[in-house]
Amino acid sequence: MDRKRVVIAGLGDTGVLTAIRLARRFDVVGISGNPGLVSGQELGTRLARPDDWARNYWIGFERFRELDRVRTVHGTLTGADLSARTVSLRDADGNPRVEHYDALVVSTGVTNGFWRQAVLQSADDVDAGLRTAHERLGSARSVAVIGGGAAAASSAANIAVRWPAIRVGLYFPGEHPLPQHHRRARKRVEARLTAAGVTLHPGHRAVVPDGFDCAAITSEPVHWSTGQPPVRADAVLWAVGRVRPNTAWLPADMLDAEGFVRVTSDLRVPGLDGVFAVGDVAATDPLRSSARNRADGLLARNVAAYFAGGRMRTYRPPTSRWGSVLGVQPDGLEVFAPNGFAFRFPSWSIERVLQPWIVRRGIYRGVRASDQNIVTNG
């Protein structure tokens, strides 16, 4: 009997995990604009310590043992014929291709600043991007971080710790950063930011210029719709949460008003047979939280149930964001639960226990070693 084919459109954090879970039972084809996993996690570490970040978050597909069963295609998605059960793409050599599916998983994520873009990249492109942003910030005397979410807080804290001589300000519209996190997490992160030397500027809502997509570190003055005088800094990092779903290749009738993929509670796209969506691109809830709540396992079970005619399971989103906010710090890693309480991994355990055993062996089911190193200015 022929094995069913599952096409996974997008091999970011969630797409890779979904492919790993499905590959033992089905023929899986994964389509990605990158030659490996280029994670959207831990922006602060990526900017301040790119070598450390790359070691754990920039991983070539050939290093994942469980992806040996997956046929990965390096290319850009260009369209989908859902009645014919095909997706179209242009591969890295510029050739048009069509992939047939029995089930389609949309996990193309979102564009959000220079660190998450829907562009075709080579390994050299990824390395150059890491180096350029790091060197741009490291050469500044002052940095203004615009935004109040986890990416902004993480960036401000890590820049301040990495370069203590740089004046770092965090500008956000509310009374506190992290408005979608539990108050306990907010209070803890604010204390960590202040201790790192970050100056907090609440009540500042930036005027984002028309057509500006936050895809660069800028140096122009920042203006505020909340009445404060403009702010100047040598480097302005925009992390304002202006996400755009990577769905231009999909039919409009499967998208909501903001362009995210509409899904039912079991992560199926309503009205389309065998089409699922997961991760930041899926309109599961206001926080689009399936990207951060290991919904890959539930989705893989539901894809198997779809083929077998079994019962689908329901995705239940948390009421607040959780997880790491600041990333690994000199005293270890704090991971916040939805109730705001933090669990700490001591610093010695990160590279001895957390990454090799919990992440690479447990979550990814085996990752081969690499000599990859991004040379930076220290």
Residues of the chain with pLDDT > 90: what percent? Answer: 83
Q: Averaged over 64-93, what is the pLDDT?
A: 97
Residue-level pLDDT at 16: 97
Report the distance separating Cα 46 and Cα 31, nearest Å.
24
Residue-level pLDDT at 1: 54
Best CA proximity match to 44, nearest among 235, 329, 268, 326: 326
Residue-level pLDDT at 116: 86
Six-digit token string for 295? 């919904």
pLDDT of 203 > 70? The answer is: yes
The confidence band for 248, taking pLDDT boundaries of 50, 70 and 90, is very high
The confidence band for 370, taking pLDDT boundaries of 50, 70 and 90, is confident
Residue-level pLDDT at 213: 66
The confidence band for 194, taking pLDDT boundaries of 50, 70 and 90, is very high
Mean pLDDT for all residues in the chain: 93
Residues of the chain with pLDDT > 70: what percent? Answer: 97
User: Do residues 283 and 262 touch, judged by C-beta distance below 8 A?
Assistant: yes
The confidence band for 375, taking pLDDT boundaries of 50, 70 and 90, is very low
pTM for this model (two decimals): 0.92
pLDDT of 260 > 60? The answer is: yes
Q: Averaged over 115-142, what is the pLDDT?
A: 94
Q: Averaged over 134-158, what is the pLDDT?
A: 96
The confidence band for 338, taking pLDDT boundaries of 50, 70 and 90, is confident
